[in-house]
Every structure is written in C-alpha cells, then in structure tokens.
Structure 1
Amino acid sequence: KIFAALPKNTKLRDPAPETLKFASEAFASMPLEQLKNVFLFRELYGTPDDSNPEYFQVLFGFLQRQKGGPKERPDRQERCTEAVEDTFGMELDAELIPILFPKFPSDRMEKVAERVRASIVSGLEKNTWLSQTAKAEAIRKVSKADLMLVQPKREIDWHFLPVMTYDVTKPLTNQKRALQAQIDRELREVKSKRNRREWSMSPLTVNAYYSPTNNQFVLPLGILQFPVFDPKMSDVENLGAIGVIVGHELGHGIDDSGSKYDHQGRVRNWKTAEDKKDFDARAQKFVDLFNGYGHNGELTLGENIGDHEGVTFAFDAAFPDASKAKPEDVQKFFTA
C-alpha cells in the first residue's frame, strides 16, 4: 500500500540488504500468530507503562542492564514535555523564538559566516597542491554552499505538521494521529518537487551540521548563544568562536568525504587520483600526531581536519593580513 503511493520512477535505497532479506524470509515462513505477536510488540514497545506497569518494569530493567539505559526514568512531567517537543518541535520554536530572542541580530551572524566562506575561497585560490580541476570544483562547491542560518525564512521551510484537533484525554491516539500525519506528508512530498531549504532540525536545537547530499550548512539559533556567539562581543571574538564552527562544517564539504559529492550534492568524486594520494599523505600527519596523543588518529581524522580548517579559515577571516594583527586581538580570537 505504501509503495503503491510512490511514483513509479522513485529510486529506493536499501542500506541494509541483509536485514531486508531476513525480514522478507521471515514474513514468508513465520506462522501468522507469530507475526501478529511481533507486530503487537512493536506497536506497544514504547507505551507499556501506560497499559501494563508490570511488563514495563521488566522491559525497563532489561534495557538498563543490557543497553546502558538509565537506572531511574524521568518523571511524567518531563516525559510529557519531551513527547510534545519531539512531535511539535518546529511549532513550539516558531512560538518561542519571538519571546526568547525578540531582537536577534541575524544579519550580523550572516556576515560572520560569509566572511569565513570568503576566507575558505581565498585559501583555495592560493592552494598549490590540488589539481586545477579539483581546485575549481572545491571553490565552486564552497561558493554554492547553502547557508541556512538562525531559523527558516519561509513558512514552507518550517515543515510544520498540518493543523489537527487533539484530545487531551487520549495521548496514545494523539501520538498515532501525529505519526500518521507525518507519514502522509512524506508520501505527498515524494510526489512533489523537492524543497532543498526545508529545515529538518528545529531552530532552537543546540547543534550545527553540514549535509553533503544538499551541500548545505545548517546553523540553528539554539547554538548561537554565549560563549559560541554574542552580539556584545567583537567580530574578532565571534570569529574565534562561531566562526571556527562555520569553517569546520564548511570544510567537511571539501575533505576526503565531502569531495565525493559535487556542488549540487550529487555523488561525483571531483578529486583526481593524484589529488587523493597527496591528500592522504598530508592527512597521515594528522593521524600520526593524534596517535601520539593517545587517540585513534584514523577514527578521529575527519573531525581533526575539520577543527584545523575551522581555526585556520576563521583566523584568516579575522586577520586577512596577519602581520598587522594586534597581539591583544589575536589573544581574544583564541580565548573566545
């Protein structure tokens, strides 16, 4: 029924073929009663305390012992708050932002981000070891990266759930209605032109990320608070704080992983074999350095490179001519 609602030319990705194969074989061979039991368990998995406290205690103890779950569960008020936030994160943030951040200087944050972007492009233009084709691709990718900063600009980008009536006496029914609304919306969107500027993270979330498949950097309002960003701080200090994060995330777009995607987010490796060989040789120095500190340099390589890029590009944005930088300003940058 779900697949029937998809356009015939829709491509489906199967990230775990072994799991799908096992499930298909199980559905074909398991007795109907067993399948019903599995389905019932999955349906009730998250709500047994409301219907069967004895069963819930057994499940809670199992998760605590085997999966490192908490020894004590949050009280009902906290659980209810979390449930509402999980379901209506966008809607809540749209109401709260004008109250919590009535005069947030979005334009200043955007200028900081653009200064870091310009610094990355300038650094790439001066690069001496990338091939000319790779250099051009890297510059185009950074220049075309979509910076989604602070909060959604259009109502359609908020990705609100449709307006519905909920019953305060039927929490489980409310959850099912909200989930079904999300599923219906996703099925409709598959048939529509993709909105690349749609936010998948509510803007009061304390986080930031780069999406290689969209060539998109998302920096929500939630993280833009002291000490990461402060309108009262100087540009140098903000570049030393949030600017480093901007450089780190945009840098992911041109590292060993990001270079597998082009400026439109399509899977296309734009580094030559020689570029990759040179990159790997330089990256090995990071591996060796962090191995010496007791880390697994291979495991942390991507983030270590990102941190190096973040500091380098943010510093260059703050001090285009380092020879003229005042020592006190440099100190502010590194202590921000």
Structure 2
Amino acid sequence: MELNFRSDNESPAAPEIMQALSQANEGTAWSYAEDDWSRALDRAFSELFEATTTVIPISTGTAANSIALACLTEPWNLVFCHRGAHVFNDEGGAPEFFGHGLRLMPLDGDDGKLRAGTLVDAVNGSEGHGVHSYAAGALTLTQSTEAGTVYRPDEIAALCAAAGDQGLSVHVDGARFGNAIATLGCAPGACTVDAGVRMMSFGASKNGCLAAEALLIFGDGALRERAERLRKRSGHLLSKMRYVSAQLLAYIDNGLWLRLAAGANAQARRFAEAIAQHPQARSEYSVEANEVFVRWTPAGFSALETAGMQFLRWPGDENLARFVFSHATRAEETAALCEALASVAPA
C-alpha cells in the first residue's frame, strides 16, 4: 500500500465542499460571477476579516498571485519576494507575463521568511539610475511560507511598515493561509489588512476545495475593475462562476477552513515528533503548519519509498525531502509513516 505525502494539491475535496457544489448545481443561475453566491462573497469575507473586502473569485493560485501583482505595479516595477517563493520558482514567469514586464527580485531570509531590514537594504540597493533602472513597486509574502513556517502578525506589520516607508504595496500569497491561521489562533485580519496588506491570494484548493481561490482587495476596492479586467483578459472569468463561489462560501462558513487546516497541522506535528525521536533524521525548519522538511540520507529516503511512502525529494539536495499533510490525511496514515521512519536503522 502506498501513502501519499507528496502535496496537499493531491488531496480530495472535502465532503462539505462537495455538498455545497451539489446544492449550487440545482437549477439555473446568472453567469460570469453575477450569481447569488458570487454576489455574497464581499459581505462574507468582509465579516471574516472585519474590514471592507472585495472578492474576485478565481480558479488558480497562479492567476490570483499574478493578477494581484499586475494590479499593484507598473511594467517597470520590481516586486520583492523571498528566494524560495512560489511566485519566483514555480509559476513559469506568469507574474512577469501578467505584469507586462515587471521583475521579481528574490531576497534571502532564514526559515523561509523575509526581514524588514533586508527589504529596506534591497530597495535602497536597487535605486540610483533613474529611468534606466527598474523602480521598486511591491512586496509579496507567502503565508505560510515555502519552508512551512509562519509569519507572526508583528512580523507582517514590520514588513508592511518598511514597505510603506519605501512606497511599496504589499501582497500576500496565502495558498496555505488556513494552516497559518490555525497555528496562530489569531483573527485573519491581524496578519493581513490590520498589518497593512493591500491584496491577498486566499488559497482554498490545497485545503479541501476544488479549483477555487479568492483574490482579496482590502479597503475601498479601487483596484476591483483592474483586477476584473485582468481576470477576463487572461481567460479566468468562468461563465459558471457559481461553482467556485459556492465553495468559497462553504469553506469559510462556521470555521470549516480552520478545522480542515488544523487537522493537517496536527498530523504534521505528529510526524515532527517522530523525527525528533529518530537518531539520524532531523527537521530542516520549525514545523509550524502542514509541511515537514526532513534532512536525512538518500538511503533512508529510499527505504521509506520502498515501504510505500510517497513524498518529494527536494530538487538539488539529495539529503532533503518534503512531506505534506492535508485535511484528508488520516491518523493511521501518519502512524504508518512514523513507524516506517522508526524502522529504518541509521546507515
């Protein structure tokens, strides 16, 4: 029997989401996000974030991230990000494509996080040649990070303050935002709109939804038309948007998104505990969400694969692998992984 810890993208949709889809499938509804479900999104998310929030439902995280960055910048702008960020490594140049020439500027930071001082130094270092240079335009952060760590509200606020001082707008890639908030236990606005974030890609597909994401605009919604026109022009305005919007409403209803994320986080912590007890394997980063990076030997990883465990060997580092736990990961699956880990003797 093979057990899949490769990615939460490979998990099934949650039963509650499938039920919402079934209900949305009854009868006819207006098309192109003019349906009742889509019209209800602004109010529902404004209540969730306790701030005026404009919602652009969309199908993919890549489109949400890219449209957001194109909204916040001009083609001659730099967008600062962490060197490990998904927008920099895994979106095939989509932000640059949507932004008609914007440039992503990767920065270093321990544990997958950026620091305010690093950002300020980078902005200052990018200036000096006037119209001959790219101009600093935006900062994009990932929450939870690509290392499976979580920004605290004060860390986000410090970065937003530094960005604001430099004239930058801030976007958050929240592909695993639910996992971050389940760990922090704070209100979702505390590390977004209250901290100074302007736009956010609110992920749902990794945590129980089916091709459903939300691009959020905090504040007066002045960027709405630009975001909607980019969504249409790029082919992401679905005629039957009700099926995306119905999922998003069900996802945040009664805290479902946090319950699903908390379950995934709990399984990740359980595996992290098993790693801590192993004589050789160790966690590469603090385990704060649903991803666990393990540093071990190629032989050890091969033994786990032989035992039926599927995970991602990290590109470019044969001694590093990533294990991801989803809302659908069962306790007995994690137990089997922990037992397999313990059974492999040190080389």
TM class, shorter-chain normalised?
under 0.3
Query: Which structure has the larger Rg over C-alpha atoms?
Result: 1
Q: Which has the higher helix share?
A: 1
TM-score between both structures, scaled by the size of structure 2: 0.23
Which is bigger in relative contact order (C-alpha 8 A, separation at least 6)?
2
Q: Which has the higher strand share?
A: 2
TM-score between both structures, scaled by the size of structure 1: 0.24
